[in-house]
Amino acid sequence: MRGQDVTTLRAIGTADAALLSALHAQSMDDAWSIESFAGLLAMENSFGLCAASGDIPTGFVLARTVQDEAEVIALAVTAPSRRRGVGRTLLEAAMRAAKARGAQRLFLEVSEANAPAIALYRAAGFVAVGRRKAYYARPAGAEDALIMAAPLDGIGRGRQ
């Protein structure tokens, strides 16, 4: 792995909807609108973090808790910052934040074609617990989503 890009992490809120939409557009094929992010950020129990290298945003994670479970709604890292620890740093911070909010397990969905993301999630303790058939619409055809989950019981006690 090359040098770490993350120099700062900061909490995000509704005022960051335009930034998140722009980062999402740089990172994903199917970018979400500013309005979509504003609605997600306004949800009860939502939380998230933005990573930056100096003054340049490099990625974000958006999640929410529901009772004793949490869900990663979106995790995006800009192309120049991939494979530099940004995603791992954001994911680990989201896991700690979810645990601090009382979650016992963290869920997420990922395209089964996204091998780098799946490797990141597996390294963080996630395992596949389900599948959503034809969940992601793609020009070349629909892709299944893997539903993955990780226990949060070891977070904060040396397991990252």
Separation between Cα atoms, residue 90 and residue 95, nearest integer Å: 9
Q: Which pLDDT value is given to residue 143? A: 86
Distances in Å between the Cα of 84 and the Cα atoms of 51, 58, 87, 90, 123 are 12, 10, 8, 12, 15
pLDDT of 19 over the 60 cut:
yes
- For the chain, the average pLDDT equals 88
- Tell which residue, 70, 61, 85, 45, has the closest CA to residue 152: 70
Sign of the Cα pseudo-torsion (61, 65, 70, 73, in order): negative
Residue 128 pLDDT greater than 80, yes or no = yes
Amino acid at 128: A
pLDDT over 70 at 156, yes or no: no
**How much is the pLDDT for 2?**
46
**Domain 8-151 carries which CATH code?**
3.40.630.30
Domain ranges of the chain: 8-151
